[in-house]
Amino acid sequence: MIPYGRQSIDEDDIAAVVEVLRGDFLTTGPKIQEFEEALCGTTGSDYAVACSNGTTALHLAGLALDLQEGDSVIVPSLTFLATANAVRHCGAEIVFADVNPETGLMEVQHLEEALSRCENQKAKAVFPVHLTGQCVDLKAMKAFTKERGIKIVADSCHALGGVYNDKSVGACEYEDLSTFSFHPVKTIAMGEGGAVTTNSLDYADKMRRLRNHGMVKNEAQGPWAYEMQELGHNYRVTDIQCALGISQLKKLERFVARRRELVALYDNLLPPLAQVVLPPEKVNCCDPAWHLYAVRIDFEQTGMARAQLMTQLADEGVGTQVHYIPVHTQPYYKKRYGDVVLPGATHYYGHTLSLPLYPSMKDSDVSFVVEQLKKAIGVG
């Protein structure tokens, strides 16, 4: 079975984890800071705060901005649940934005339209999503939000290793904070794990407190003493995870290069299916790290439902996935905000299918996937 995504773990990754297991610190040890420094070196940001997963990274970013009840946050509907849920966990309300129907990316026009629906609540932030590895045009978004006092949290969980406007994703050139996930199918794997990058020391310090229950040491009262002046969480990441992350970051350039090679191979093999299958629509503002290879399929023209195609491909050993069900259609959000009409998100969702993409794939695997796709839809 060729899955749609998987981790690439080598013996040096295993050795790095074993070294920690044999050491003194399994958590709250030196590997956390070492990983954060390595991530700053990778992204070009001033600060990085590691945490337990990509969802807690989003939540910490929202807490750093002091999102709370009475605030509104613009979130594109075409994303994973976590982008929206993190905002709700802060107490703020969400205004869902539409996306480009071909790329799935939120653009300034979609942000502007969503802002018109904010009603009486203050729009405090926007959480644009770098989807499949391709980047939102953050420079344009910053130009629009700056005069309105709206903060930007870039959900970069798909995009580590990519380049936007000649800067590494996560450099925070235009956004206030950038969040990452290190789930096994992402560009690097830590099992679970996340991080937030920023160029603000105040944000970084606040997130470090809040990932550890809001505790700060008070050694004036004794070497054991601490105070909790604000309500925090246990969002800590372990030294075990960070050891793996440090090892994986050393391979990031190679992983990204291989993903780009595989995408180019798919692009070269798909033209015979062009009447019903199109490669991802590329944007010009970035050189993506390609987390996903999400093709666009005219299912009506194929004469088969997406579920039928996915089942048929799985029977032949090809795993696929759908990214994503528009979040505004989920029961929780429909109950809270009613029916929201977002035609771009609906169109993108209705046509997308993610094909296998991960660094250890062989060229022959890509050829096999495309041949099975041709066979399933009867084209080519």
Q: What is the pLDDT of residues 251-268, one digit of tens each?
A: 999 999 999 999 999 999
- The answer to whether the CB of 91 falls within 8 A of the CB of 267 is no
Average pLDDT, the chain: 97
pLDDT of residue 220: 85
Catalytic residues: 186
- Answer yes or no: is pLDDT of 120 > 80: no
- The answer to whether the CB of 356 falls within 8 A of the CB of 318 is yes
Instruction: Please give the Cα distance from 94 to 127 (Å, whole number).
Output: 10
pLDDT of residue 185: 96
Please compute the mean of the pLDDT values over residues 124-144 and round it to a whole number: 98
pLDDT of residue 89: 98
Strand partners, 335: none
- Answer yes or no: is pLDDT of 301 > 90: yes
Please compute the mean of the pLDDT values over residues 322-333 and round it to a whole number: 98
pLDDT of residue 122: 82
> For the segment 189-221, what is each residue's pLDDT rounded down to a tens digit?
999 999 999 999 999 999 999 999 999 988 888
pLDDT of residue 380: 60
| Backbone conformation region of residue 222, classed left if phi is above 0, alpha if psi is from -120 to 50, else beta | left
Please compute the mean of the pLDDT values over residues 326-346 and round it to a whole number: 98
* DSSP character string of 198-224: ES-HHHHHHHHHHTBTTEEE-GGG-TT
Domains, the chain, with CATH or none: 11-249 (3.40.640.10), 252-377 (3.90.1150.10)
pLDDT of residue 218: 87
pTM of the model: 0.97
DSSP 8-state class, residue 176: S
Please compute the mean of the pLDDT values over residues 76-105 and round it to a whole number: 98
- Answer yes or no: is pLDDT of 102 > 90: yes
234 CA to centre of own chain: 21
3-state secondary structure of 1: coil
Give the residue among 179, 188, 162, 114 at the shortest CA–CA distance from 285.
162
